[in-house]
Amino acid sequence: MGRRVSIGGVGYLLSTLPLFILNGLFYAATLFLIASGLTIIFSVAGILNLAHGAIFMLGAYLATLTMLTGDIRLIIITFIIVPFIIGLIGLGIERGLIKWVYDRESEYQLLLTYGLSLVLADLVRMMFGPQPISASFLLRESGVIDILGVTYPVYNLIVIVVALFVGLLLWLFLDRTRLGWIVRACSFDREMSSALGVNVGLIYAFTFFLGSALGGLAGALIVPSTVAMLGMDVNALIESFIVIVIGGLGSIRGAFIGSIIVGLVRSFGIYFFPRYELAFIYIIMAVVLLIRPRGLFGREYRRV
C-alpha cells in the first residue's frame, strides 16, 4: 500500500505533512475532551458510562440548532450553553437512574448505560431525522490561514487551542482547587472519602455533570468542521475508550497523550491507507493491551 508514494511523491509527502499533523491534532482535540469526560466519570464514580458517546452526539445535534442560523453571537454562546445543557442531562441521568445501581454488580451498571445509550441515540434520530446535518457556517466565516506551509482553516486551530485551554483548566481544577482534590480523593478511595465526611453522592453528581459537559463541548466544537450524523456516538465511545486504554484510566495526562496518538494515527491512516486506517488504531490498542495493560499513565489495575 506504500506504493502510493512515488519518488516525486516524497516531496509531496513532506509538503503536506503539516496538514496531516494539524488534522490529527484537531481530531485529537475533540477526542481529548470526550475521553477526559469519560475517564473522570469512570475513575470517580466507577461507572463506565456507555451513553457518553450518545451524550456527545446529542451535544453536536443541539449545536446545529443555533449554528444553522448564521447568527454569530448566538453561535458563540452555543459553546457555553450546549455543554451546560448536556452537563445537566448527564446530571439528571446520574441522579435519576445511575444512582440506583451503584451498589449493584458492574453488569447491571453496564446494561443500564447501554440501554440508555440506545434510547438517547434513537431519541436523536426521532428529533433530528436520519440524515446528517451540516452546519459549517462558522468554519467558512473564520477563513483560512497559512501555517507551516499549508493553508488551514482557522476554526480548526481555534478548536485545538480551546481544547488545550480546557485541558489546562481541568488540570488546574483537579490539581489546585479544593473541590478538585476532593474529586480526586473520591477516585482513589470511595470509602475513605465518605468516612472523611465527604458527601460522595454530591461529588458523583458533579462528576457526571462535568464529564458530560466536556462531551457536550466536544460535540458543539466538532459540528462546524464536520457533520452531525448518526453513528458518531458509537465511534466516539470506542475511540475514547481506546484513548483511555492507551493513556491509562483516571489520568487526564494519559487522555491527553492518548488522544494525540489516536488522532495522529487516524490522520495518517486516512491519508495513506484509507481502507485500513481503522486497523491501525485497533492494532495499537491490541499492542498496548498485550504489553502494558494499564496504559501509559494508568494506575495499577487491581488483580486481587
Binding region for another protein (CB under 8 A): 42, 48, 50, 97, 100-101, 104, 106-112, 114-123, 125-126, 234, 237-238, 241-242, 245, 275-276, 278, 282, 285-286, 289-290, 293, 303-304
User: Is there a contact between 247 and 296 (Cβ–Cβ < 8 Å)?
Assistant: yes
Q: Are 135 and 228 in contact (CB under 8 A)?
A: yes
Backbone angles phi, psi at 150, to 5 degrees: -125, 160
* Closer by beta carbon to another protein, 7 or else 304: 304
CA distance 139 to 165: 20
Which CB sits closer to another protein, 75 or 228?
A: 228
Q: Which residues face 146 on adjacent strands?
A: 151
CA–CA dist 181, 55 (Å, integer): 26
C-alpha dihedral, 139 to 156 to 63 to 61, nearest 10°: 100
C-alpha cell at 89: 442531562
> What is the distance between the terminal CA atoms of the chain, rounded to a whole angstrom?
45
- Residue nearer to another protein on the CB measure, 118 or 145: 118
Q: How far is the CB of 108 from another protein (least distance, A)?
A: 5
Q: Which is nearer to another protein, 75 or 261 (CB)?
A: 261
State the minimum distance, in angstroms, from the CB of residue 271 to another protein.
Answer: 16
Nearer to another protein, 7 or 290 (CB): 290
CA–CA separation, 32 and 170 (whole Å): 12
Contact 268, 24 (CB under 8 A): yes
- Residue 146 is inside which H or E element, if any? strand 144-147
Q: Which is nearer to another protein, 21 or 101 (CB)?
A: 101
Q: Closest approach of Cβ 254 to another protein, in Å?
A: 14
Q: What is the DSSP letter of 151?
A: E
In the chain, the amino acid numbered 142 is S
Minimum distance from residue 296 beta carbon to another protein (Å): 16
- Smallest distance from another protein to CB 262, Å: 12
Q: Which of 207, 225, 263 is nearest to 52 (CA)?
A: 207
Question: Taking the complex as a whole, how short is the minimal distance between the CB of residue 233 and another protein, in angstroms?
Answer: 10
Instruction: Answer for the pair 42, 250: CB distance below 8 angstroms, yes or no.
Output: yes
CB of 99 to another protein, least distance (A): 11
52-67 and 72-96 helices, crossing angle to 10°: 150
Nearest residue (CB) to another protein, 146 versus 300:
300
Q: How far is the CB of 184 from another protein (least distance, A)?
A: 16
| Full DSSP string of 166-180 | HHHHHHHHHHHSHHH
87 vs 295, which CB is nearer to another protein?
A: 295
